[in-house]
Amino acid sequence: MLKLLKNLKKSWVSVLIIIILLCVQASVDLALPDYTSKIVNVGIQAGGIETPVPQIISKKDMDAMLIFTNKDDEILSNYTLIDNTESLSRYEESKVKKYLGSDYEEKINQPIYILNKIDEEKETYLTDLITSPIMEMTAITNEETAKAIKEKITQNLSQGQKQYIESQDLMTLINTMPEEQREGLLSQFTKQIDEMADSIKEQAAVASTKQVYQNIGVDLDKLQNDYIFISGLQMLGVALISMISAVTIMLLSSRVAAKLGKTLRDKVFKKVISYSNKELTEFSTASLITRSTNDIQQIQQLITILFRVVVYAPIIGIGGFIKVLTNSDNQMAWIVGVAIVAILFIVGTLFIIVMPKFRKLQDLMDKLNEVSREILTGIPVIRAFNKEKKEEGRFDRANKDLMKANVFVNRAMSMMMPLLMLVMNCIMVLIVWVGGHNVDQGTMQVGDMMAFIQYTMQIVMAFLMISMISIMLPRAAVSARRINEVIETDSSIKDKEEAKSFDPNKKGLVEFKNVSFRYPDADTEILSDINFTAKPGETTAIIGSTGSGKSTIVNLIPRFYDVTGGELLIDGVNVKDVKLKDLRDIIGFVPQKGVLFSGTIESNIKYSNDDMSDEQMIEAAKIAQATEFIENKENKYKDPISQGGGHVSGGQKQRLSIARAIAKDPEIFVFDDSFSALDFKTDSKLREALSKKTKDKTVIIVAQRISTIMNAEKIIVLEEGQVVGIGTHEELMENNETYRQIALSQLSQEELGGKGGN
């Protein structure tokens, strides 16, 4: 898998952008729960007041608050006292406008304190100093609390003293008390505050600050609405950044994956094109098609989501867990652990069950493609022998095997998502249950619980993404291994580093010197001790019984296979010492089975050279006796040819294949039983026209029909991979029993005698 990922280096800029955007998206996604928490805790519950530290406070309330602390100087050092609005600095004016509105001059009828610019650390310290005093002050100034305190003070006093004290302001009375008496009176309030949980104390302090703001004339509804509106806009902005990042990431990921797929298909195709027949027999055609399409598609689909999982999921998972531990009550962190363990258990179990089937799926798909291709190719034979039911059964077995494997995998995979969703929902219920109790006990705020739910869902989703990739990865790994097998398999036939050039003095000369050959992994030799020479200006024919090695000999000439013993020389040079391109450029090869490509008659004849002149093309068609049926076509040479030449006859296909080789005008013509589908009249005309075209060329013909080769200057007779006779038709009829038997099995003694036979 890692070997294939090296091909991503062509898209390294896109990959880098994807990684950066994933980090950005993960960061903003982790910030969203904080905004939710702030809107609930601060915007709704606290009325838009972010901190217990008053940003603006009347001198009267400040003096009252300072009664309950001995840190007067530390607190006042962070505030500026304003006696009139004319001396406000720009910062102070912005503060006053925020809390009192643009008509602040009408509302300010007393000296006020404005909080100076302070950093976060100093604000935290100031919060600790102010929380208790401001709570004590607002608690005591409460009407019911003030009445209870006055009753306690006047318990042992006369009626006149009671009336006097009740008529006085409580804060004035407390301020005039001796310090010991004051501390004793207020100790119960201090004790209650100290016993409060931090979250409740903070909420109570914010409520006290709200009372301070109300006393000075702050519009609390506007303050709350402004905070919620601004926080909502910030949240929407963060969500918009996340959305843009996600869309861009998916577009770039799809592009990178598509480019990787193109690169892999290109590499596989080029590698297959370079294979010799040996490698092509090792990989079946069906398997190569599956590897070039389905297997690469698996890799492409994996790459599309791989970056999101590899980069995004760990950031979300780890970042969310850190947020849970730092921003929420970490006593609930165990819930995240339970969720992760449950997910890993489900995914691990499915992984163990499904993994073996993933490996088998691709092999079964190869098998189905192989059966389908074989049946479709052999339909005429199947129909001729009424074997449709048998072949349907064979296809049905391969189809059912693949279906069963797919059904098993899909059933197992279909269970994963419901089980994981069940885990998610159970975790959510558990969070609400535990969090609800914590909220009820005052150890957690509602916003914190909501943020905890979001962080937990993010963590769970991160593990879900990793789980999904862990399921896709095995199948993609199998595909990657199959693709690598093709890419890493080198052709057994390749050019040498220092290639030789052909000898111009031996142009067209083909020499077999003690050549032997065996197929890869075969135990016996197909050819042994083959010796003959094919010269320019002569026709060398090869004949023999079926399986004698005729086609094998001509397949050695363009190096479709390499000889395993002896030497094969062309133009005086061993074929292993020249470049394959140079070798095949001088050979016009017509295979036993005519092969046409989708396009037109013209494109097939001009296959060796697209810039070939029309005159050269027409001349080649005339020699190949193809003009007769071409001229009858509606579009002549522009008439379309379907894939494989399915709508032309076998004879027409052979003639077009021969015309293609003639149009190339090579030094050496090799015909591998290429006249078998032609009638005797066409065969005779073609050979007569061909002899004029190839009078200075080397012609090698493999044939089954004696009539095709009777006029050859040299006939080579093969039997069981060995040369058993070389000579002209007349010589072989006299001296070679094998040739004589083949000849007499096809023509009468008179017909053979008429041509010089006995």
pLDDT in tens, 117-130: 888 888 888 988 88
From CA 694, how far away is CA 262, in angstroms rounded? 44
Give mean pLDDT, residues 359-384.
Answer: 79
| pLDDT (average), residues 30-57 | 85
Mean pLDDT of the 432-441 span? 79
Rounded to the nearest integer, the mean pLDDT of the chain is 81
Contact (Cβ atoms closer than 8 angstroms) between residue 662 and residue 671: no
**Cα separations in angstroms, 306 against 12, 425, 441, 479:** 15, 26, 44, 16
The 3-state DSSP class for residue 462 equals helix
Neighbours of 259 (CB within 10 A): 17
Cα 256 off chain centre by:
8
Q: Residue by residue, what is the 3-state secondary structure of 685-723?
A: HHHHHHHHHCCCCEEEEECCCHHHHCCCCEEEEEECCEE
Per residue in 219-264, pLDDT (tens digit) is 888 888 988 999 889 989 999 998 999 899 888 888 888 888 888 8
The domain ranges of the chain are 51-216, 272-488
272-488 placed in CATH 1.20.1560.10: yes
Q: Residue 183: is its pLDDT beyond 80?
A: no
Is 747 in a helix, a strand, or coil? coil
Cβ proximity of 594 and 657 under 8 Å: yes
Look at strands 698-702 and 527-534 and give their pairing: unpaired
Say which residue the tokens 């006290």 belong to. Answer: 208
Query: Bigger pLDDT: 617 or 707?
Result: 617
Q: What is the pLDDT of residues 520-561, one digit of tens each?
A: 777 788 888 889 898 888 889 998 888 888 888 888 888 888
Structure tokens belonging to residue 219 = 């519009």
Pairing of strands 510-517, 722-727: unpaired
**Statement: residue 190 has pLDDT above 70:** no
Nearest to 476 by CA among 249, 287, 305: 305
How many other C-beta atoms are found inside a 10 Å radius of the C-beta of residue 345? 12
CA distance 241 to 20: 13
pLDDT at 388 over 50: yes
State which amino acid sits at residue 690. Answer: L
Q: Find out whether 367 and 290 touch, Cβ atoms under 8 Å.
A: no
What pLDDT score does 158 carry? Answer: 64
Backbone angles phi, psi at 702, to 5 degrees: -100, 130
With cut-offs at 50, 70 and 90, classify the pLDDT of residue 755. Answer: very low
- Which residues are CB-contacts of 3 (< 8 A; sequence separation ≥ 6)? 480, 484
Question: How confident is residue 756, by pLDDT bands cut at 50, 70 and 90?
Answer: very low
State mean pLDDT over 61-88: 83
Residue 540 pairs in a beta bridge with 700, 714
What confidence score (pLDDT) does residue 164 get?
Answer: 61
Task: Give, as one character, the DSSP assignment of residue 156.
Answer: T
Q: What percent of the chain has pLDDT over 90?
A: 2
Burial class, 678, CB count within 10 angstroms (exposed 0-12 / middle 13-18 / buried 19+): buried
Q: What is the CA radius of gyration of the chain?
A: 47
Tell me if 629 sits within 8 A of 640, measured CB to CB.
Answer: no
Q: How confident is the model at residue 637 (pLDDT cuts 50, 70, 90)?
A: confident
Distance, in Å, from the CA atom of 223 to the CA atom of 740, rounded to the nearest integer, reads 115
More confident residue, 758 or 9: 9
Q: Which residue has the higher pLDDT, 353 or 255?
A: 255
Q: Is the pTM of this model over 0.75?
A: no
Q: Measuring CA to CA, how many Å separate 598 from each of 270, 504, 549, 588, 591? A: 20, 37, 31, 20, 18
- Note the residue count of the chain: 758
pLDDT-derived band at 178 (thresholds 50, 70, 90) equals: low
SS (H, E, C) 386-431: CCHHHHHHHHHHHHHHHHHHHHHHHHHHHHHHHHHHHHHHHHHHHH
Residue 541 tokens, joined: 């024919």
**How far apart (Å, rounded) are the C-alpha atoms in residues 490 and 719?**
34
Specify the 3-state DSSP secondary structure of 626: coil
Two tokens, residue 529: 């001790």
Q: Alpha carbon of 99 to those of 168, 229, 555, 663: distances in Å?
A: 31, 16, 95, 94
Question: pLDDT, tens digit, for every residue of 308-329?
Answer: 777 788 888 888 778 777 765 5
Distance CA 676, CA 680 (A): 9
The answer to whether residues 490 and 276 touch, using CB atoms and an 8 Å cutoff, is no
Let me know: does 471 contact 354? Beta carbons within 8 Å: yes
Of the chain, the end-to-end C-alpha distance in Å amounts to: 70
pLDDT at 504: 84
Say if residues 701 and 539 touch (Cβ distance below 8 Å).
Answer: yes
Amino acid occupying residue 117: K
CA-CA distance, 372 to 168, in Å (whole number)? 104
Q: Which of the two residues, 666 and 751, has the higher pLDDT score?
A: 666
Residue 525: alpha-carbon gap to chain centroid: 48
